[in-house]
With several copies, the nearest count.
Chain A
Amino acid sequence: MSERSSDNMCERFVRKVARRTSRRSLLSKLGTALVAAPIFPLLPVSRAGAATPDRPLTDFERNAQTEDPNRCDYWRHCAIDGIICGCCGGGPHTCPPGSEPSPTAWVGTCLNPDDGRHYLIAYRDCCGKSVCTPTGSDCRCNETDRDLPVYRPQSNNDIIWCFGNSSMAYHCSTAAIVGVAG
């Protein structure tokens, strides 16, 4: 398998929004923001206090494993809601063939039991293709550690994160490492 870059997605996102909406005031704001900013997929934010080293483990963290990324209890899946892309021909940070990673994502803060660190995980949906038919018995997950409601969208796992893709059709969800939670 080889890779295709997902560069410039944010730019495409904004352009698509620009085409679709008639709300000029908003657009000009977005346009301004872009001029000042390098083009890169939107990164999620950390939630303050999520990674206090001495807090007790959640049930998910107690049971998490690091061997099989195509099961719901894989350590990175602590806040995933969706179908694991690894069950659809993709991988933890790889969209299945023919789908596109979303430039936007929701975020979880998950404990890696191997190194004891908390990592920020971007749950980027893979989009532009109808819902994946997963092969595997433990591919549809709904984990909720520190999942917040939609009025805190970047920490919400219910939203279809396909904004700015060629179509908003949801295919599956990845769980890419963004960095260590600070």
Chain B
Amino acid sequence: MRETRSIMLRCLAVSKAIARRKPSAPLARTILFGASALASVSVAAQEAESTPVLPAERSDVAVLSAAGPHRIFNFSPFGGGGVILFEGDDPAIKSLGNVPATDNAAVALPRDASKIYLAETYWSHGNRGERSEILSVYDAQTLDLESEIPIPGHLHVVPKMSQMGLSDDDSLAYIYALVPSSSVHVVDLAKESLATTIEIPGCALVYPYGPRSFATVCGDGTIGSVTLDDDNGSSIRFSERMFDPDNDPVLENSIVDRSTGEGFFLTYTGKILSVPLGEGPISGETWSIQEAAGMEAPGTGVQELAWRPGGNQLMALHRDTGRIYVLMHPGNHWTHKVAGTEIWVLDAHEHKLLRRIPLDTPATSVAVSQGEDPLLYVFGFEGDGPGGLEVRDATTGEVLRGRGWPGFGNVFVPGN
């Protein structure tokens, strides 16, 4: 045995010179790395040259600034993806960092985007072993995991905006689950614990509004609304039948304004159910976005070509101006996942088409920043290449910047 062979990996000493950022100070010690590979690191002063020697660098970790209204949170919980953060004003649309998520996780952001909440399922050995159902809480500036709140579970599904959401005051998280029964888990975010679980048989998804309420969509064509009382008891109200669930159902990525409780439920054929979800009976008016555009409202024909909504996250609302953005494509009925070739901009209250924005490449998803100077984010582009993210002026529709990058998924923005 050769005793001179030393252990390969040792935490050996070097001078603290580098730590103190004195780049040209000679190292006080050498580093041993195997007896036969002894060599010295010398940061000795170079012979005088015209350019200075580049200083030694200390490894550090980036921390983000607090999110402004143009921070972008792209969510793609598949194959090791998760949340990728961008800044809408960054000309390069370069990642600011990312947060991993399990396959089919769900996500929600508080209005100031100071946290990222992820409903996740883990098995201790990847696809097997002990199961953990948790709500992971990340600090959205350090991207450090802050806590893991045990929850009963969440629905594993192609990600939808309405799988999970926060109460208007950001104090409660509502998480939709399908087994053992269709229900919503309510998490008290301050206490970091489950507050209650509310069964919503026959209905699914959560559209929070106000301090302690959420809407839900039901398989019989009604809209439900659940309100929690102070003891976490709950009551549910239903509308009359407002849509045909077999032939022209409400799309999952419909929108309820968290603050005002105004619901905008979009159907496969392009009807919007405008439903104020305050007190009392739930009802509302139904209007057609094609009629708002001066066209005929299409029916449910499988060979009835018309402009129709389609995609994944196919609808966005700019709350202050009441503008609704919808991805539209020409197609027959049952093409509700087809990528949009245009974005239609509609006045949510006047029921008027304001603008049609043609897209160079069809896209499946759209989002809009809140507040002043809104930016329109278009993503989920078709094709084999990188998914891309295009940033447009939300008022004019003009392309401001964009960049190909890999991904698909949903985009979340602060202020919603």
Does A178 contact B249, Cβ atoms closer than 8 Å? no
With A40-B13, A147-B336, A179-B56 already in contact, the answer to whether A1 and B41 are too (CB < 8 A) is no
Q: List, in ascending order, chain B residues with CB within 8 A of A126's CB.
A: 61
Interface size range on A against B: 35 or more
The interface-forming segment of B78-86, B228-236, B368-376 is B78-86
- Which chain A residues border B303 with CB–CB below 8 Å? 56-58
Q: Is the CB of A153 within 8 A of B61?
A: no
Distance between Cα atoms of A24 and B204 in the complex (Å) = 22
Using Cβ atoms and an 8 Å threshold, which residues of chain B touch A100?
61
Residue picked from A4, A159, A169, most chain B C-beta under 10 Å: A169
Instruction: Determine if B56 and A150 form an interchain contact, defined as CB atoms under 8 angstroms apart.
Output: no
- How far, in whole Å, are A18 and B59 apart by their CA atoms in the complex? 25
Partner of A43, one of B41, B44, B128, B182: B41
**Chain B residues with Cβ under 8 A from A166's Cβ?**
128
Q: With a CB–CB cut-off of 8 A, which chain A residues contact B59? A: 6, 41, 93-95, 101, 122, 124, 174, 176
Residues of B with C-beta under 8 A to A11? 11
B249–A148 CB distance below 8 A = yes
Q: Across the two chains, which residue of chain B brings its CB closest to A37?
A: B13
Q: Which of the candidate stretches B140-148, B164-172, B284-292, B347-355 sits at the interface with the other chain?
A: B140-148
Q: In whole angstroms, how far apart are the Cα atoms of A6 and B61 in the complex?
A: 8
Q: B383 at the A/B interface (Cβ < 8 Å)?
A: no
Interface SS of chain B: loop
Q: How far does the Cβ of A137 sit from chain B's closest Cβ, in whole Å?
A: 7
User: In the complex, what residues of B have CB within 8 A of residue A20's CB?
Assistant: 131
| Chain A, residue nearest B19 (CB) | A40
Among listed B149-157, B270-278, B317-325, interface-contacting one = B149-157
A-B contacts counted at CB < 8 A amount to 325
Taking a contact as CB atoms closer than 8 A, the residue among A1, A89, A169 that contacts B95 in the complex is A89
Query: How many angstroms from the CA of A179 to the CA of B84 in the assembled complex?
Result: 33
Contact A179 B43 (CB under 8 A): yes
B400 within 8 Å of A (CB atoms): no
User: Which B residues are in CB contact (< 8 Å) with A163?
Assistant: 9, 178-179
Given A42-B12, A45-B39, A57-B302, verify A152-B249 contact (CB < 8 Å): yes
Assess the A45–B79 pair: CB atoms within 8 A. Answer: no
Name which of B56, B57, B332, B334 has the most chain A CB atoms within 10 A of its CB. Answer: B57
Q: Is B48 on the interface with A (CB-CB < 8 A)?
A: no
Inter-chain contact A159/B178, CB cutoff 8 Å: yes
Q: Which 7 A-B pairs have the closest CB atoms?
A: A182-B42, A98-B143, A89-B97, A37-B13, A179-B43, A101-B59, A130-B100
Query: Could you pull out 14 A-B pairs where Cβ atoms are within 8 angstroms?
Result: A2-B63, A6-B60, A20-B131, A43-B41, A57-B303, A59-B335, A122-B59, A149-B217, A150-B178, A169-B128, A170-B104, A176-B57, A176-B58, A177-B57
Point out residues on B near A: beta carbons under 8 Å.
7-14, 16, 18-19, 23, 27, 31, 33-34, 37, 39-44, 46, 49, 51, 53-65, 76, 78-82, 84-86, 93-100, 103-104, 121, 123, 126-129, 131, 138, 141-145, 152, 155-158, 160, 178-182, 197, 199, 202-205, 216-219, 245-246, 249-252, 301-303, 332, 334-337, 386, 403-407
